[in-house]
Amino acid sequence: MREQVERLLEQARQQLEQASRASEVRDVRTRYLGRRGEITGLLRQMSSVAPEQRPLVGQMVNQAKEQMEALVERRLKALESEEMDKRLADEKIDITLPGLPAGPGTGHVLVTAMKRIEDIFLGMGFSIAEGPEIESDDYNFIKLNIPPDHPARDMQDTFYVDAEHVLRTHTSPVQLRAMLERAPQVPLRVIAPGRVYRRDPVDATHLPNFTQVEGLAVDRNITFGDLKGVLEEFARSFFDELTVIRMRPSYFPFTEPSAEVDVSCTVCMGEGCRVCGHSGWLEVLGAGMVHPQVLENGGYDPGAFTGFAFGMGVERLTMLKYGIDDLRHYYQNDQKFLRQFRSL
């Protein structure tokens, strides 16, 4: 029995030394100390040992068992810590890697387009006027000939801050403010660029906030011909020298007469294509002669002065100029989209 125990102990010791992984050590433990293990087997054979030798043999086997357990434990600890060290080394993250370069920033395509539009009108003698984005109902609607029950309010259904204030639905109130500031001096020539807000759903052609540039000229003897000349000059400067415009009768509460203004299609040059719906024309802005009542609200005598006004959406103009097919691209901050316009 003693020899058998010593042989098992020696075998286990060798196997433990050869084990290179914690799982192999656990296998050795099962082989000798498990429920069907060799040492456990010896304890079961105690019945075949002579009764007077049992205490001695029992003690010997138990000592061997304890010894083996200690060996297993030691080897297991050593291998586990080795394996942990190896894993830590493998999974080490090198935080000294250089980051991605940020590169120089560029103007957003809308900002660039807006500057271009401003430059064109500055060149024609207009100056830039600004006003608040939270506007009074009075300035945003009533003084522009849109009383509370007017159906035109529905088209601009908007964000009310309180009963008397709205997020402006157009930059027209800025025109009014400019008139009240300058009246009765002439000539008055201003453009009003800025953000406007309407309760529109977000899709390829609508956003709840967008950018407008409106323009206003007041002087003696201003005619519809002056309006057409200014818009034609703008269209040629912004799109292409060969661009022509056409004006169709329309309605706005603050101008009379009013017109929708189209430019010849920038893609097919008027031949007709998918972009222009095969009409050869693209609708780009609204315009008209300032309504006498609005002139009067602005402090100008409509008997002595006339004026014209126009308004355009910067997002739409920019879409047409660069062939952008979805308004949402402007506000998603996708650098792959924005980078295309960095050299403009």
Q: Which is nearer to Zn ion, 257 or 272 (CB)?
A: 272
Applying the rule CB under 5 A, the residues between 269 and 308 that interact with Zn ion are 273, 275-276
CB of 264 to Zn ion, least distance (A): 8
**Number of chain positions touching Zn ion (CB under 5 A):** 6
Q: Which is nearer to Zn ion, 27 or 271 (CB)?
A: 271
Which secondary-structure segment (H or E) carries 246?
Answer: strand 245-252
Name the segment binding Zn ion (CB under 5 A); options: 136-144, 220-228, 268-276, 330-338.
268-276
Instruction: Give start and end residues of each alpha helix (H) in the chain.
Output: 2-18, 22-33, 38-44, 54-90, 109-123, 137-140, 152-155, 172-182, 224-238, 292-297, 314-322, 335-339
Name the segment binding Zn ion (CB under 5 A); options: 103-111, 115-123, 148-156, 264-272.
264-272
Q: Which residues does 231 contact at the CB level (< 8 Å), separation at least 6? A: 245, 261, 285, 287, 310
Closest CA to 200 of 210, 190, 192, 191: 210
CB of 210 to Zn ion, least distance (A): 23
Q: Which is nearer to Zn ion, 1 or 267 (CB)?
A: 267
The answer to whether the CB of 160 falls within 8 A of the CB of 192 is no
Question: Does 265 help bind Zn ion (rule: CB under 5 A)?
Answer: yes
Binding mask 76-95 vs Zn ion (x if CB under 5 A, - otherwise)? Answer: --------------------
CB of 283 to Zn ion, least distance (A): 12
Q: What residue number has its CB nearest to Zn ion? A: 265
Q: How far is CA 58 from CA 12, 33, 75, 172, 226, in A?
A: 19, 15, 26, 105, 119
- Go through the chain and tell me how many residues it has: 344
CB of 270 to Zn ion, least distance (A): 7
Q: Which is nearer to Zn ion, 31 or 236 (CB)?
A: 236
Q: Which is nearer to Zn ion, 6 or 271 (CB)?
A: 271
Sheet bearing 188-197, strands edge to edge: 127-128, 188-197, 209-219, 306-313, 281-290, 255-264, 245-252
Question: Does 128 help bind Zn ion (rule: CB under 5 A)?
Answer: no
Q: Which residues does 256 contact at the CB level (< 8 Å), separation at least 6? A: 288, 289, 291, 292
CB of 239 to Zn ion, least distance (A): 12
Closest CA to 212 of 287, 106, 157: 287
Identity at 243, one-letter amino acid code: T
Sheet bearing 134-136, strands edge to edge: 134-136, 165-167, 160-162
Question: Does 267 help bind Zn ion (rule: CB under 5 A)?
Answer: yes
Interatomic CA distance for residues 217 and 227, integer angstroms: 9
CB of 276 to Zn ion, least distance (A): 3
Q: Which is nearer to Zn ion, 123 or 277 (CB)?
A: 277
Question: Does 244 help bind Zn ion (rule: CB under 5 A)?
Answer: no
CB of 282 to Zn ion, least distance (A): 7
DSSP three-state, residue 110: helix
Name the segment binding Zn ion (CB under 5 A); options: 164-172, 187-195, 258-266, 330-338.
258-266
Question: Does 268 help bind Zn ion (rule: CB under 5 A)?
Answer: yes
Binding site for Zn ion (CB under 5 A): 265, 267-268, 273, 275-276
